[in-house]
Amino acid sequence: MKKLLTAVLSSALLLTACGEDGSQSADGGNSGGASTSIYTIATGGTSGVYYPIGGAIANILEESEVADTSVQATGASVENINLLDTNRAELALVMSDSALQAYEGSGAFEEEEPREHLTAIGNLYPNYVQVIAPADSGIESVADLEGKKVGVGAAASGTELNARLILEAYGLSYDDIEEDYLSFAESVDQMKNGMIDAAFINSGVPNSAVIDFSTQNDVNVLPIEGEEMQALLDKYPFFQEGVIEAGVYENEEDINTAIIQNVLMVNSELGEEEVYNLTKSIFDNIESLQNAHNAAADVSLEGSADGVVIPLHPGAEKYYQEEGVLE
């Protein structure tokens, strides 16, 4: 019994030494390129796409024996950037607009100093702006959200930041709606119960929460197109035009909408060789990532290095140069 008690106490002391976030570098910190024993991967809510994608990245790193990992469900982009910035995460999935705003000190980060130290491994896949409403709600356009109760995403999430911009393009703001800060799953539950009229869901497609709603209710996915789409393109460089193809949510026709690339960010304090190995491991096993979710099916080596909105980490840059996708 004494031996067992000693072993338990020793284990507890070891876990305490790893810190509250469960990670520890070889020198007790997270700087100077020291190797971390556990990589925390910051994702998003469990009903979104970030979580399974983060899980797939974790499996790749574990199976490649590059690192032990811990996948953390979070409030997504803004929280993830803050987790990286305070050394409570090594990798994070973040929407490009949030990454760029943090880097520049604009938008949601306009009251803060630019975080010019932020770095990325590269692009992953696009997020589709999915503004959904019950088909019997009479809501056919974003303009119809005026006066309605709308789930806008978790507070300060990438979805919520986008909701503000989409509304702006249609001449609306939170003054014109009753906004409710809800996760994807909460938004769907509230729509089922008639507590809200519509919701912003920004993720890869298909989104499990939207599928959940559409299997029991007819759903309208509101288009974003025309002059409003052009206004977004003209003002915000991170927006692109996209299409939710017919049949994704039992929709009979393609639906035009806005898309934003997701970025895999990495803690800038990790060393070059460490991030090189991370990047190589992910792309040497890219099929595992592509098979993790339909949204990741088009993740590619070339696309990941192309047009990233913040600087690449030197370790990722080294890998891309070796592979001939960067000069």
Whether the CB-CB separation of 159 and 191 falls below 8 Å is answered with no
Cα separation, 155 vs 159, in Å, equals 9
- 212: which residues sit within 8 A by CB, 6+ positions away? 185, 188
DSSP 284: H
Instruction: Give the chain's largest Cα–Cα span.
Output: 74
The predicted structure's pLDDT at residue 36: 53
Evaluated on CA atoms 270, 261, 94, 307, the torsion sign reads positive
Instruction: Name the token pair of 237.
Output: 């460089």
Whole-prediction pTM: 0.78
Contact by Cβ (8 Å): 71, 54: yes
Q: Which residue has the tokens 């949204």?
A: 295
- Domain locations along the chain: 25-125+262-322, 127-260
- Collect the ranges in the chain with pLDDT lower than 50: 1-35
Residue listed under structure tokens 């284990």:
11
According to CATH, the topology of domain 25-125+262-322 is D-Maltodextrin-Binding Protein; domain 2 (3.40.190)
pLDDT of residue 85: 95
25-125+262-322 and 127-260 have identical folds: yes
- Which of 224, 219, 195, 225 shows the shortest CA–CA distance to 206? 219
Is 127-260 assigned to CATH 3.10.290.10? no
Tokens of 128: 């589709």
Closest CA to 101 of 324, 310, 318, 265: 310
